[in-house]
Amino acid sequence: METNKIELTPEQMGMLASLAQETGEPVDALLDKALSEFQARMRTRRANGIKDSDRPKEVPKPIWEKIRDGFATVPEEEMAALPTDGAAQVDHYAYGLPKR
């Protein structure tokens, strides 16, 4: 069997070590399993005519959209009860300090 050397980042090495400890499987067995599953998934994609270029690229939402989405479910009466000076008096509302 021919052995090829590959370099892994410290994060990848740590992940493999953690998985090996959690599962009780040796690192080489974990890599074999992961590569086999990846190969099977790629074969299925190809058999179904799916190319990587067909996969939509995920674009992360801007923070303001995440905030807007989060506030969209807050009831009107709770929004009305929020302080209007929250930004100016953040230390008061967050930490209980006297208002400035």
Mean pLDDT, to the nearest integer, of 9-29?
91
- Taking the mean position of all CA atoms in its chain, how far away is CA 67? 18
Mean pLDDT, to the nearest integer, of 83-87?
91
- Taking the mean position of all CA atoms in its chain, how far away is CA 7? 24
Residue 6 binned pLDDT confidence (cut-offs 50, 70, 90):
confident
Question: Residue 36's pLDDT is what?
Answer: 94
Q: What percent of the chain has pLDDT over 70?
A: 93
Instruction: Render pLDDT for 38-67 as a digit per residue (tens, 0 to 9).
Output: 999 889 888 888 776 666 677 888 999 999
Q: How many residues does the chain have?
A: 100
Question: Residue 40's pLDDT is what?
Answer: 93
Mean pLDDT across the chain, nearest whole number? 88
- Examine the pLDDT at 73 and tell me if it is beyond 80: yes
Neighbouring residues of 83: CB distance < 8 A, sequence distance ≥ 6: 89, 93
Could you give the CA distance from residue 22 to residue 12 in angstroms, rounded to a whole number? Answer: 15
Could you give the CA distance from residue 9 to residue 15 in angstroms, rounded to a whole number? Answer: 10
